[in-house]
Every structure is written in structure tokens, then in C-alpha cells.
């Protein structure tokens, strides 16, 4: 398996090379040259595997340059029961007409742990093999940052520089990140929103000389290793849901999956799983009031908003108006044509609009993706009603997913909803919905009271560059 850039400027490279690079040198995103397929017989053969074993099989279809033995060891370390609080790593919970896919059992109580724990183990393995170092530059709207930092804290040869928007994350999200004292972790709060943070990452990653001198890498969802790791829980969810189906009927057991979406990385993994042959009927993209992606999938017109026009909502991890992974989807819509992609992206940068309205009819019919948006009132009502009916408390992003999923139920097609985080991370909206926040364990209460370590900077690439130069791993 080799990888290329959506913009055509990357010579074919194996998985282990694009892992270190993150963003392609031409500013595009790396994609596999071909998408591997999985047959019904192969799916059935995976049914008895534990999560780590399934991860080795699924990711192994993409992990060129890595031996099967090394990949198996990495997956066992990443998905050890003690890392995720026991078995199952990903539980499925029926909630009336839908089934919740639990992706928040990891150390930071958010779905980002599912990919980031794998990436942390993989990076340490590769850096040790090469005898070199790496400086991770990332941006977070809440959960990516803490998941990356917990996966990479104390790792040899790695320094992490994580940009977050000042005042735009929950108190719990800030505490998780800023309370870390590991010498290789550097938190940087940017005056602006998440899109500003993401733009700074792209500016510095696009400076080829600076990137090479300081060995910059990425752990945001633009890193294809995260896309590959996220594939696993789509396969796991289908396998576990179809366990109850008669063996003769399993191959045709189709489900739909709703995905709360901000940066489009998670749902792109779902689309890739569908393309590989997993029997997914619909992928339902759920957004909040920052409904740029919903508008795109309804109309075919993509209009990213400015930072000033991006709402600060009660599901803050989706307060994103420029989805960095959408380029991968547009590349597929355009027939994997780098020249056409470059033309469309140049138009987007020039005019602020990308118009694929002529192709919009294909989004559901061919790619299986539909969408919807949720509001604060709907989130509150969904948290309240879910708790009343089932006793389960969900976080606001998962509530967005549940609210949108309810509009896309189809007879005979089970609906699964990906959980994104534990409700303890968002006490204000949970208290508004059910009268009290979700109870925090003692160790998490202590986290909120711990001293915080963060550097405030303006929305300025030079300021971030100076911090990296001062603290980079060499």
C-alpha cells in the first residue's frame, strides 16, 4: 500500500513515511492509492477477535512498512484493558430505537483516545527504530489535545505543542490538558477560535524549511494513521451488532451510523469502512449550530465561516467551520483527480466558496452520507429525555448525534450512534438538562483543582514558531 497527496505533489510513499509527515509537502492530505476490500468471509473470520486483534487486522490493510508482529504488539499496548478501564474496549448500549457505540472509555473520556492511543504507541516505535525525534504540532477544539497529550506524555523523543482557543473549551477540557506537568507537553492558548488554531498549524506545517529543521509532525485528524485507527470501531460496532443475527443473514445485515462531526475525520473513516465493504447503509453527519458541513451535504455548496461568524456553543468540540478532512472527500467526489482538486481549492481560497452542487445528488446515493444539525434546545431536551427513558446520561455532542439520528430512522435498518465523550466533561449543560452534573470520581475532581500550565499567545504564527524553537525535541 502506497500513499499519494490529494493535490498530486507527493511521490508514492509507504504508511510509515506519511505517519511522520502528516500534511503532504504540497499542502494536500495523504490518501491511499487504492482502498482495500474486505469480503463477507473475511468479516466473519474477524468476529471472534478481541479489539486489539481486530485493530491489527483492519489497520494492517493500510500499514505498509510495518511488520505484522510490530503492528500486533502496538495494538495490544494501545488497546490494553487497563488503558480503557476493562473490557469491552467499545461497549454497545441499546437506547430505545438506537444503539449507542461507546467510544469514551479511554483515559481522557473521549473518542479521540481510540485513535490517539494507537498513534502514541506507533510513533514511539517508529522513532525508536529510526533513532530520531519528532515535534508534534496540533490544534484542538477540546478533546484531540488531551487525547494526544495523554498518549504522548513522557514518550521518548517526542515534544507536543498543542494550540487551543482561549475561552472556547469547557473547564474540564482545559483542566485535562493544562494540568499536565510532563516536560515534553506544551500547551499554547491562542487568541481566537479553533479555526484560527488550525490555520496556524497549516501555516507552520507549510513552511518546508521550518518543518524540516524542527521535524514537525501532526496528530490532528489530517494524520492518516488516525483515520486508519478510527476504521476499527466501525468494524467492531457492526460485528457486535450483528452477533444477534442468524449466521446465514449476517452478510446482508445493514446498519446506519450517526457521527457527530466537526473536522470530518471520524465520518471519513466511516465512509472508508463502507468503501472497503462493511455493510453500512447510511452515514448520518450530525452538526451543531455551526452547520457548514450540514449545508454542504444538503446543497453541495461549502461556505466556511470566519472565526467571528463561528458560534460558541454548548457542544464546543464541534465549533468548527472549516473541516480540515473535507478535502479527502472532495478528492473522491472529483474522481481522485488532483488537478481538479487544486482548481476547486484555489477557488475556495479565492472566493470563500466551493460549489459542488452539480454533484450533490451523489452524496447520499453513491457515498451514503446524509446530514442534519441540532441546536442547544434540542441538545438539552435529548439529554433530558434519554436520561428519563433509559437512565443513561450523554454528553452534548452525542446528544447532537441522537437528535439528528432520530430524523433519519428507516424501517428495517438499525441505527447506531457514535458516543463522543463522557458527560462529566460538560457539567453545565448536563445540569441544565437533568438538574445536576454527572458525578465526577474523586481523581477527576482533583484534576479540576490542579495548577494549570499554559502559555497565552496572539493569533500569530511567529509567536508559535518562537515557542517551538525554544522547546523543540532534538
C-alpha cell at 343: 482548481
Work out the number of other CB atoms within 10 angstroms of the CB of residue 432.
16
Nearest-10 Cα torsion for 87, 91, 94, 99: -170
Q: Domain of 315: which CATH number?
A: 3.40.50.1100
Split into its structural domains, the chain has a count of: 1
Please write the tens of the pLDDT for every residue from 281-324: 999 999 999 999 999 999 999 999 987 888 989 998 898 888 98
Q: What is the DSSP letter of 91?
A: -
d(CA 460, CA 228): 32
Nearest residue to 376 via CA among 289, 294, 318: 289
Nearest residue to 412 via CA among 264, 282, 268, 230: 282
pLDDT tier at 151, thresholds 50, 70, 90: very high
Please write the tens of the pLDDT for every residue from 255-277: 999 999 999 999 999 999 999 99
Please write the tens of the pLDDT for every residue from 83-141: 999 999 999 999 999 999 999 999 999 999 999 999 999 999 999 998 999 999 998 87
d(CA 95, CA 284): 17
Nearest residue to 317 via CA among 383, 399, 440: 399
d(CA 211, CA 468): 11
Nearest residue to 313 via CA among 220, 194, 221: 194
Predicted pLDDT at 447:
84
Nearest residue to 150 via CA among 112, 188, 198: 112
Specify if 172 maps to a domain: no
**Does residue 22 surpass a pLDDT of 80?**
no
206 or 30, which is more confident? 30
pLDDT tier at 162, thresholds 50, 70, 90: very high
171 or 394, which is more confident? 394
368 close to 274: Cβ distance less than 8 angstroms = yes
Nearest residue to 99 via CA among 425, 390, 439: 390
SS3 5: strand
Predicted pLDDT at 304:
94
Q: Over range 216-220, report the average pLDDT.
A: 81
Q: How far is CA 37 from the centre of its chain?
A: 22
Q: What percent of the chain is helix, strand and coil (3-state, nearest 5)?
A: 50, 15, 35
Specify if 472 maps to a domain: no
d(CA 387, CA 434): 8
Specify if 58 maps to a domain: no
pLDDT tier at 79, thresholds 50, 70, 90: very high
Element (H, E) at 41: helix 40-45
pLDDT tier at 56, thresholds 50, 70, 90: very high
* Range of weakest confidence among 399-408, 421-430, 434-443: 434-443
Q: Which position has the grid cell 454548548?
A: 314
426 close to 440: Cβ distance less than 8 angstroms = no
C-alpha cell at 132: 530520531
Q: What is the DSSP letter of 215?
A: T
Contacts of 193 (CB under 8 A, 6+ apart): 165, 168, 307, 310, 312, 319
Contacts of 327 (CB under 8 A, 6+ apart): 6, 28, 29, 341, 345
Predicted pLDDT at 317:
85
Specify if 4 maps to a domain: no
Predicted pLDDT at 203:
92
Specify if 452 maps to a domain: no
Predicted pLDDT at 99:
98
356 close to 341: Cβ distance less than 8 angstroms = no
Asked whether the bond before 88 is cis by omega within 30 degrees of 0, the reply is yes
Specify if 86 maps to a domain: no
Contacts of 16 (CB under 8 A, 6+ apart): 63, 64, 65, 66, 126
C-alpha cell at 205: 506545517
Nearest residue to 395 via CA among 376, 374, 420: 420
Q: Print the domain residue range for 339.
A: 92-107+225-434
pLDDT tier at 171, thresholds 50, 70, 90: confident
Contacts of 34 (CB under 8 A, 6+ apart): 1
Using CA atoms, how far residue 96 sits from 103, 245, 282, 417, 468, in Å, is: 19, 18, 19, 12, 49
SS3 467: helix
Q: Over range 220-241, report the average pLDDT.
A: 94
Angle at which helix 265-276 crosses helix 224-241, to 10 degrees, equals 60
Using CA atoms, how far residue 298 sits from 71, 293, 364, in Å, is: 40, 9, 10
Using CA atoms, how far residue 464 sits from 21, 182, 264, 307, 468, in Å, is: 19, 19, 25, 19, 6
Element (H, E) at 231: helix 224-241
Specify if 66 maps to a domain: no
56 close to 68: Cβ distance less than 8 angstroms = yes
Catalytic residue ranges: 112
Specify if 46 maps to a domain: no
Predicted pLDDT at 102:
98
pTM of the model: 0.91
184 close to 472: Cβ distance less than 8 angstroms = no
Amino acid at each position: 500500500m502506497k500513499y499519494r497527496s490529494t493535490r498530486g505533489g507527493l511521490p508514492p510513499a509507504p504508511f510509515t513515511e506519511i505517519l511522520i509527515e502528516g500534511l503532504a509537502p504540497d499542502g494536500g492530505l495523504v490518501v491511499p492509492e487504492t482502498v482495500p476490500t474486505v469480503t463477507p468471509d473475511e468479516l466473519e473470520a474477524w468476529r471472534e477477535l478481541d479489539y486489539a486483534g481486530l485493530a491489527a487486522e483492519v489497520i494492517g490493510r493500510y500499514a505498509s512498512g510495518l511488520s505484522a508482529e510490530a503492528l500486533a504488539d502496538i495494538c495490544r499496548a494501545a488497546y490494553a484493558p487497563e488503558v480503557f478501564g476493562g473490557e469491552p474496549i467499545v461497549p454497545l448500549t441499546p437506547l430505545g430505537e438506537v444503539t449507542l457505540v461507546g467510544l469514551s472509555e479511554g483515559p481522557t473520556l473521549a473518542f479521540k483516545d481510540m485513535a490517539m492511543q494507537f498513534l502514541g504507541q506507533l510513533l514511539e516505535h517508529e522513532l525508536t527504530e529510526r533513532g530520531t525525534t519528532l515535534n508534534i504540532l496540533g490544534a484542538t477544539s477540546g478533546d484531540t489535545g488531551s487525547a494526544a497529550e495523554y498518549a504522548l506524555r513522557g514518550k521518548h523523543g517526542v515534544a507536543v505543542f498543542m494550540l487551543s482557543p482561549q475561552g472556547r473549551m469547557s473547564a474540564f477540557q482545559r483542566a485535562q490538558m493544562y494540568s499536565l506537568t510532563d516536560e515534553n507537553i506544551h500547551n499554547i492558548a491562542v487568541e481566537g477560535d479553533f479555526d484560527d488554531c488550525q490555520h496556524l498549524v497549516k501555516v507552520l506545517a507549510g513552511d518546508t524549511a521550518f518543518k524540516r529543521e524542527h521535524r514537525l509532525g501532526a496528530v490532528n485528524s489530517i494524520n492518516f494513521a488516525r483515520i486508519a485507527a478510527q476504521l476499527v470501531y466501525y468494524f467492531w460496532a457492526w460485528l457486535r451488532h450483528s452477533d444477534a443475527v442468524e449466521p446465514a443473514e449476517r452478510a446482508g445485515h445493514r446498519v446506519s451510523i450517526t457521527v457527530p462531526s466537526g473536522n470530518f475525520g471520524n465520518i471519513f473513516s466511516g465512509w472508508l469502512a463502507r468503501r472497503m465493504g462493511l455493510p453500512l447503509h447510511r452515514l448520518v453527519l450530525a452538526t451543531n449550530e455551526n452547520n457548514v458541513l450540514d449545508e454542504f451535504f444538503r446543497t453541495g455548496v461549502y461556505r466556511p465561516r470566519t472565526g467571528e461568524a463561528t458560534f460558541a456553543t454548548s457542544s464546543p468540540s464541534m465549533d468548527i467551520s472549516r473541516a480540515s478532512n473535507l478535502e479527502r472527500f472532495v478528492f473522491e467526489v472529483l474522481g481522485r483527480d488532483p488537478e481538479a482538486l487544486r482548481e476547486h481549492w484555489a477557488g475556495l481560497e479565492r472566493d470563500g466558496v466551493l460549489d459542488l452542487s452539480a454533484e450533490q445528488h451523489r452524496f447520499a446515493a453513491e457515498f451514503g452520507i446524509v446530514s442534519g444539525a441540532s441546536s442547544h434546545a434540542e441538545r438539552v431536551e435529548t439529554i433530558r429525555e434519554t436520561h428519563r427513558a433509559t437512565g443513561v446520561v450523554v454528553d452534548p455532542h452525542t446528544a447532537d448525534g441522537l437528535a439528528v439520528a432520530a430524523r433519519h430512522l428507516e424501517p428495517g435498518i438499525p441505527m447506531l450512534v457514535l458516543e463522543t465523550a463522557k458527560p462529566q466533561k460538560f457539567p453545565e449543560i448536563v445540569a441544565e438538562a437533568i438538574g445536576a452534573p454527572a458525578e465526577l470520581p474523586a481523581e477527576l475532581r482533583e484534576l479540576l483543582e490542579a495548577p494549570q500550565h499554559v502559555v497565552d499567545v496572539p493569533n500569530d504564527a511567529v509567536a508559535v514558531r518562537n515557542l517551538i524553537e525554544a522547546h523543540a525535541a532534538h
